[in-house]
Structure 1
Amino acid sequence: MAHTSLQQAWLNLAPGALEPMIADHLVIPEMLKLFGFTFQRGEIVKEYPTGLGAQKVDIAARKNNGIDNFSHSLKAPSLIVELKRRSKNISPNTAEYLSLVRQLKGYLDPEAINCSQAKWGIITNADRIQLFRRHGKVIYPFTNNIELNAGNIDEKIYLLKDYIENNCNSLVIALYNNKGGVGKTTTTINLASILSLPSAKGGFGKKVLVVDFDPNQKDLTEILGIKPGKVKLLDFLKDSNSKDYAIDDLISPYPIKLKDGKWYRFFDVIPADEGFLEVPPSSLPSILYKGSLGKILSRVKNKYDYILIDAPPGSNYFTKEAIIASDVVLMPSKHNGLASLNNAATAMKDILPQLGQERRVYSPELADPTPLPIFFNGEQMTPAQEKQAREEINKIIDNVMQSDKIDLTPFFFPKKTEMVKNEEIFNLPNIAHISSAHFSRRPAALTNQLAFVAYKRFVEEYFI
């Protein structure tokens, strides 16, 4: 049986192939060629300077733009690739794998100025490969760590090609904690406000869609006074393939009048649908297939920069669908709420991997939804309380490491390394105006300077 050129290149690699051989005989002439990059046209550069000191990434690629030849200008790669020799074990959670991921993320970090336009990153040793995506400051695994062999290499590399070529613009974020009362809805509203506020007004001018996926509470819909769209969400989800429904009929605008007297369409909302309450919860999985929310959101992923899903606590249909549809999960917590911290740990080690299995049913090899670092929401902390919270978190980290061999340090203490013992957790301060702003149907971040500054810091810390 004849082999494809990709299969043959893989089979011809020596068991101990070093990085240059993997680059010259497999990645550049076969994989990147399938992705549409051509070395002969100067669209691929080896040992590309990242702009982070003297560090170089093994391969960078970008399609030429008019007279701008990438190999000449060395500007704005769209994809970078970091290699390991074939003898290195980069299976998930091995020391080599974790080191390689940190290395790639460092190259994709905005501080690596020459790579600041790169949207995609790949790590591989020829036997394993994984695709990462960058959206602003957020860098996350887009696919699983995939094991390659002669029988599947064509299928898997074409799958990566499809994801790179067809992935959409937006970052989908589920705001979730298994514990209620931690401020998910308030965070969603104010995060959307700062992201969508025009840059001339001190915001970021992003296009944002908010999904109220908690029909039992429907707090977000009621706080903002959002009117239903022409089509209800339940009806749309029941028949998401129907051409009778226009996605715009599902969406309601949230306009607001600012101090300059002008009305602005700030962000869009898919409001909560009370129709869900008329369906027994046990019947929802039988009338709505898994991944239906993600499928309808895929229709608008090129329209928005951010899609925020306000998910209910618990492990019900709505929570699962929200997380399955998301790229990343943002978990507000309380420094004095041990339950919310334990629930965050449970989500990271159990719930997100379980739901990752479910999302791979309809999107092969997608990675588990990635948890962003937790933050404390709306609490004043004394130094003693902050110390106590850190001690409790360290106990949780140690227990999970012993029982599950999973290191949760990056999710609780993202700035902590072996060299830098920084256990800082981002804290959104307690501002009385934030909760009282609900009565005015206006986000606190748009009516109170302290709230504005706090949420802008939040966006800058996590996203932009």
Structure 2
Amino acid sequence: MIDSDLKKAWLSLSPDANEPEIAFKLVIPEILKIFGFNQQEVCQQYLTGRGAKAVDIAARKNTGEEDFSHTKQDATLIVELKKRQLDLSSSSNPYKNAVKQLKGYLHPTSVNCRQVNWGILTNANRIQLFRRHGRVVYPYTTNIELTAENIDEKISIIKTIIDNQQQALTVALYNNKGGVGKTTTAINLAGILSLPKPLGFGKKVLVVDFDPNQKDLSDLLNIQTEKLSLFDFYKDRKSLNINDVIAQYRFKEKFGFDIIPADEKFLNATGTDLASIPKGTLKKALSPLADFYDYILIDSPPGDSYFTHEALTAADVILMPSKHNGVASFKNAAMAMKSIFPALGKDRRAYFPELADPTPLPIFFNGESITPTAKAQAQNAIKAIVRQAKQEDQIDLMHFFFPKWTPAQKNLEIFEMPSYAHIASAAFANRPAVFTSKVACEYYRNLVQEYFI
């Protein structure tokens, strides 16, 4: 078999290749060409617009007579290069620093990168694709080790992902402990995201109630199964249409969002019935819908059940409401980070090769008034959990619990959703609180702006 130009370029790299050598021999002439970019669509040392910071390579398809390599505006893909001898394995400090650097280029204040959808980190020995959706930047693929035998396959996988970019961000609302307000959060997130501007964000939203034991979301919004139940779709996925499962929620026929209702038929299924359904079926079912919606929110059950696994496997990112006085929920969150999410990554990769594990977003305190003393107690409890995870499991959970922490500033702030009686009571009126309450609207706008937009 004749070696591909890509493989030849990779083999031609010196063992200690630096960034320019990797750029000129491998990334620009071969990888970016495979991705469909020509030389006039590639720029080196691209200024991000966040001070003087520049990323190694940026690319964007030209339109009309425009030449991106000259205009150097509105890149859609960026590549950060590292020396070949640098250890970019996922547990190494150089890798963690490089990821932080890449995310910095995609910060909202990086004005020249606001159109960037994809970021690549590579040193030629390893490559990883990151996706950017609004404020969210997360690893889309695993940290792939490249070899002469697999480089053609792995770059082809990344190309397929980029070529088939989906519109939606899929978010699972999850906490291993119940009673933390997941359903209320899902309802009002859907409400504020779908509410027309300027009060909301004018996004197309689908909510999936995947908790058939409780089906709180479906009941609180008084949503019934439409033409087809989700379980019936599961049983005959090849001949049925997922769109027939979707119901509409509309407030006074003005605005709203779509819902896949909970299906109690799952509860009557035997263990054998559920075991016969391939893992990752929910993700596969939702995939064609991701080109129609901006956000897909999954209300997942607590615990460690089939339904929890399917919900989290389907998610790009996981949002975890918590209570400041719930030390158990902090420990459960740490346990999920250490074991549950990585295990579910295997199910995702059975659906599509090299998909990264679902990415947890930082926790937030949901729906309670917190005194300074109580906040300090919660922070101390969390610090102890972080120390234990680092000592016993070599996992750094600091930014999962304290996203604004740096060695210099040591900021222990956690986003807080304040307590407001109308938020909870509105659910019993079959509507999101954000549709009728300015206070609730402001609270959830803040939540969206903190995490998503």
What band does the TM-score fall into relative to the shorter chain? over 0.9
Distance (Å, rounded) in 1 between the aligned partners of 2:243 and 2:93: 47
Residue 260 of structure 1: aligned partner = none
Aligned to 2:64: 66
Superposition pairs of residues 216-365 of structure 1, within 5 angstroms? 216-242=213-239, 245-257=240-252, 263-280=253-270, 282-365=271-354
Partner Cα distance (2:28, 2:103) in 1: 21
Structure 1 residue ranges without an equivalent (≥5) = 258-262
- Partner residue, 2:362: 373
- In structure 1, the partner of 2:31 is 31
- Structure 1 residue 205 corresponds to structure 2 residue 194: no
SS in structure 1 opposite 2:350? coil
The answer as to whether partners of 1:59 and 1:82 remain within 8 angstroms in 2 is yes
The separation in 2 between residues aligned to 1:286 and 1:459, in whole angstroms, is: 37
SS in 2 for 1:133: strand
Change over 3 Å in CA distance of 1:284–1:422 after alignment to 2: farther
Matching residue of 1:457: 446
Partner of 1:2: 2
Partner letter of residue 130 of structure 2? F
Partner of 2:412: 423
Q: For residue 448 of structure 1, report the CA deviation from its aligned partner.
A: 1.8
Aligned equivalent of 2:177, options 171, 176, 179: 179
Q: Tell me how far apart the structure 1 counterparts of residues 415 and 273 of structure 2 sit (CA, whole Å).
A: 37
**Distance in 1 (alpha carbons) for counterparts of 2:327 and 2:63:** 53
Deviations 1:109-131 (A, max 9, x none): 11111011000000000000000
Following superposition, the deviation at residue 68 of structure 1 comes to 2.0
User: Could you tell me whether the CA contact under 8 Å between 2:233 and 2:241 is conserved in 1?
Assistant: no
> Could you report, residue by residue, the CA deviation over 1:371-413 in whole angstroms, capped at 9, with x for unpaired residues?
0000011111110000000000000000000011010011100
How far apart are the structure 2 equivalents of 1:394 and 1:31? Answer: 43
State the secondary structure of the residue aligned to 2:90: coil
Maintained 8 Å contact 1:215/1:273: yes
Distance 1:248 1:265, change over 3 A: farther
CA distance in 2, matches of 1:269, 1:286: 26
Q: Is the contact made by 1:84 and 1:124 (CA closer than 8 Å) also made in structure 2?
A: yes
Aligned to 2:412, the other structure's residue is in SS state coil
Which of 437-446 and 378-387 deviates more? 437-446
Offset at 1:284?
4.0
Question: Is the CA contact (8 Å cut-off) linking 2:88 and 2:123 kept in structure 1?
Answer: yes
Alignment partner of 1:215 out of 208, 212, 215:
212
Mapped to 2, the partners of 1:439 and 1:84 lie a distance apart of 54
Cα distance in 1 between the residues matched to 2:344 and 2:196: 36
The number of residues matched between the two structures is 453
Structure 2: stretches of 5+ with no match in the other structure:
none
d(CA) in 1 for partners of 2:64, 2:446: 39
- Distance (whole Å) between structure 2 residues aligned to residue 453 and residue 265 of structure 1: 18
Identity %: 58
Amino acid at match of 1:246: N
Contact 2:194 / 2:255 at 8 angstroms: preserved in 1?
no
- Is 1:393 aligned to residue 382 of structure 2? yes
CA distance in 2, matches of 1:440, 1:68: 54
What is the alpha-carbon distance in structure 2 between the residues aligned to residue 148 and residue 249 of structure 1? 42
CA contact (8 A) 1:37 1:44 kept: yes
Conserved 8 A contact 2:284-2:351: no
Shift of 1:358: 1.7
| Partners of 1:284 and 1:317 within 8 A in 2 | no
Name the SS for the 2:129 alignment partner.
strand
SS in 1 for 2:249: strand
More divergent stretch after superposition (23-32 vs 68-77): 68-77
From 128, 131, 137, the equivalent of 2:129 is 131
Tell me if the contact between 1:238 and 1:287 (Cα under 8 Å) persists in the aligned partners.
Answer: no
Moved over 6 A (4+): none
